[in-house]
Structure 1
Amino acid sequence: MSSFKRRGFTAMLGASALAAPGIMRAARADAPLKVGFVYVGPVGDFGWTYQHDIARKQAQAALGTAIETSYVENVPESPECQSVFESLASSGHKLIFGTSFGYMNYMVKVAAKNPHVMFEHCTGYKRAKNLATYDIRYYEGRYVQGVIAGHMSKTGKIGYVASVPIPEVVRGMNAVTLGMQSVNPKARLKFIMIDSWYDPGKEGDAAKALIDQGCDVITQHTDSPAPLQVAASRHIPAFGEATDMIKFAPHDQLTADVNEWGGYYIKRIKEALAGTWTSTNTWGGFADGMLAMAPYRNMPDAVAVTAKQTVADIASGKNKIFTGPLTDQSGKIFVPAGQTMSDDSLTSMQTLVAGVDGKLS
């Protein structure tokens, strides 16, 4: 396994960095499939990127010497990422995973230039013959969080530390709100958009501000444990994000959405090894084993039982979450009674439901 810091990696572009001694293993007749991962944050964020890297390690352990994995961390969603993808492709990586939405257009360009390399984009929607997409239905877990928050909140106000105003984040805020309102129809969600996926300082400050505004449960759509840590310092119950963050708030974390990427990575790498890989679109959730909830803690047993049943209902399809009537912030019905939003509608969602306080711009 090889790893590269973004700055050091990009500084070595054009200098055969990936073939340098100590970075690339010696060539041999049975050379392994080289698989690269590009991360938007550090592997030590203890959230989004951390969980992807756990899955990379699971794939390496499962497939052994048949593969050689490497990763580049702290790669921004800017033209700089294109150089990273190009360098991985030119250095013999035959399967490359990009794990942030903002990489999309750059990956499309690099894939077109490298038709014999397989690319996979996490959370994107643009595909090509050699560019697949994959994602998790995070909103399912956020609905469960909302149900729990509806039971736990005394003020009826939950705070949401949001990252960037894309459909994924909008779905998350709406799902939490609908989950809360299934318990308390008057519940409200307040959010602060920090315009970053990973910025512990901003994340923590946003959590403080939300608590100061009367929110007595905190959740997040950002990558560090900072909001959870702030909540714990105020003895406010909160949720972890992407991975089980219990060690950062043992007495205050209620649960966390856990992104289970390992099975997907192993499956797709096996297909690459077998020569059966094709460009696909995967969007999995509880039913597919791609999403799980961390153990339920710091809540009454009855609330935990309700949460478990909610997961079961979502997994079985009994609860489809975005089924009408759904009303927007202005009071207008945008999903009629009895209708369920299609996946196409969900992937482009930019409407906030009634009960969410704040505007996207």
Structure 2
Amino acid sequence: MKEVFGNHALFFAFSAVALALVLGIAALVFSIHRQEDVIAVRQKPRIGLMLYGGRDEAGWNRQHAAGVLQAARRVGVDVDIIDHVTFNQARADEALSRLAAEDGGHDFTIATSADFAEAAQMLHDGGSYMDVALPRLDGQGKNCVPYFVRLYQGEYLAGILAGLTTQTGRIGYVASTRNPEVCRSVNAFLLGAQETRPDVRVLVKFAGGWSAPDDEQQAAAELVAEGCDILNSHQDTMNVQAYAAAHGVMFLDYLEPYATSSGLGLATVECRWDMVYEAMLRDYLRGRFRSMYWIGIEDNAVGLGGFSLRVSEEARARVMVEEQRIRENGSVFTGPIYDTDGVLRVADGEMLSDAALIHLDWYAEGVEFP
């Protein structure tokens, strides 16, 4: 693994046709066909990884760094990392441009935040055709490779457990911002909880960002004051879990277990990001990307694990039953489902399509915003 830093002037231009004509060595070139583009890739392509935080930061950044490196080792490619790329547009532009040009340029870069989409598009518009994988499913941008995991399936299982565990019937959920990813997770968590406790309510507060320590802990405190006896979160950090552990409140982990001896953590929504990245990298080396990478329980990429001693064998068994059901039919959004305004969004017996899930912008009845 090589660190990528430096400020010297850089330039990189890559064209499949020109490379084949000039070098005339077809055996040393892989062609990547995505939509109508053909991109020449060297026999040993260079892969970039861009993180907005540190590779060792607990939560999102550490999980993705580890996943990419595991996948890269299995397929036999090297990864160059730029981390601590903030959500500053100029910084993102600089980091992607550097990867496109550094030491002859990278063939493919994984950028682990949807907020880097604008930088990826600017890179393409500026004449660089380096493909950039982004964790967003709308596929915007000619050089975008969309990916994610079906995180909502794990959140549904977490909801099953929370519904079995809550005493107050009020569960707190600290979310980053209003977007389809968060909406899917909140709704799935609620639907799971309603399966085991129909009168349950999920109270949601938005922290306003993926990493906002003070706002996350303030939101957690306000939810506990509202009577929530379990906290869940959809953040890139472990701040909500830290608050819960320090204040004697049960919680659910997202991405990785929160390191504590409190015993208050119930279970962890687990994501195998390495499986997504391995599929992506293998397809790249074979010469063709899929239109989208979105895998879940059916591929063993998502689940609920790390159960604490607080969770009974009966509760674990119920979670396993629901997990098997998802494996068989893949849906946690089966109607009837009404939204918070009482509008029927999914008819009885119908399943919400992937297209609808990708653009989800409504919350299910039972979600509250105190």
Deviation of the 1:255 alpha carbon: 1.1
1:52 to 41, 64, 74: 64
Deviation of the 1:3 alpha carbon: 3.8
Residues paired across the two proteins, number: 339
> 1:20: which partner in 2?
none
TM score, norm. by length of structure 1: 0.86
> 2:295: which partner in 1?
284
Alignment of 1:58-137 (within 5 A): 58-64=70-76, 66-76=77-87, 78-91=89-102, 92-114=105-127, 116-127=129-140, 130-137=143-150
CA distance in 1, matches of 2:200, 2:280: 42
The ranges of structure 1 where at least 4 consecutive aligned residues each deviate by more than 6 angstroms after the TM superposition are none
> 1:225: which partner in 2?
238
CA distance in 1, matches of 2:184, 2:63: 21
Query: Which stretch has the larger CA shift, 39-48 or 95-104?
Result: 39-48
SS at match of 1:192: strand
Deviation of the 1:250 alpha carbon: 5.1
Alignment of 1:174-193 (within 5 A): 174-193=187-206
CA contact (8 A) 2:96 2:120 kept: yes
TM score, norm. by length of structure 2: 0.84
1:144 to 131, 144, 157: 157
Query: Which stretch has the larger CA shift, 105-114 or 188-197?
Result: 105-114
> 1:211: which partner in 2?
224
SS at match of 1:292: strand
CA contact (8 A) 1:3 1:70 kept: yes
Query: Where does structure 2 lack aligned partners over 5 or more consecutive residues?
Result: 12-27, 29-41
SS at match of 1:248: coil
Is residue 39 of structure 1 aligned with residue 51 of structure 2?
A: yes
2:281 to 269, 291, 294: 269
When residues 228 and 48 of structure 1 are mapped into structure 2, their CA distance, relative to the original with a 3 A threshold, is same
Query: Which stretch has the larger CA shift, 286-295 or 245-254?
Result: 245-254
Query: Which stretch has the larger CA shift, 151-160 or 113-122?
Result: 113-122
CA contact (8 A) 1:35 1:67 kept: yes
> 1:24: which partner in 2?
none
SS at match of 2:124: helix
CA-to-aligned-CA distance 1:28-74 (integer Å, 9 cap, x gap): x999432111113222331111100111221343245x424323234
Is residue 332 of structure 1 aligned with residue 343 of structure 2?
A: yes
* Percent pairwise identity: 24
CA distance in 2, matches of 1:32, 1:350: 42
Query: Where does structure 1 lack aligned partners over 5 or more consecutive residues?
Result: 18-28
When residues 13 and 280 of structure 1 are mapped into structure 2, their CA distance, relative to the original with a 3 A threshold, is farther
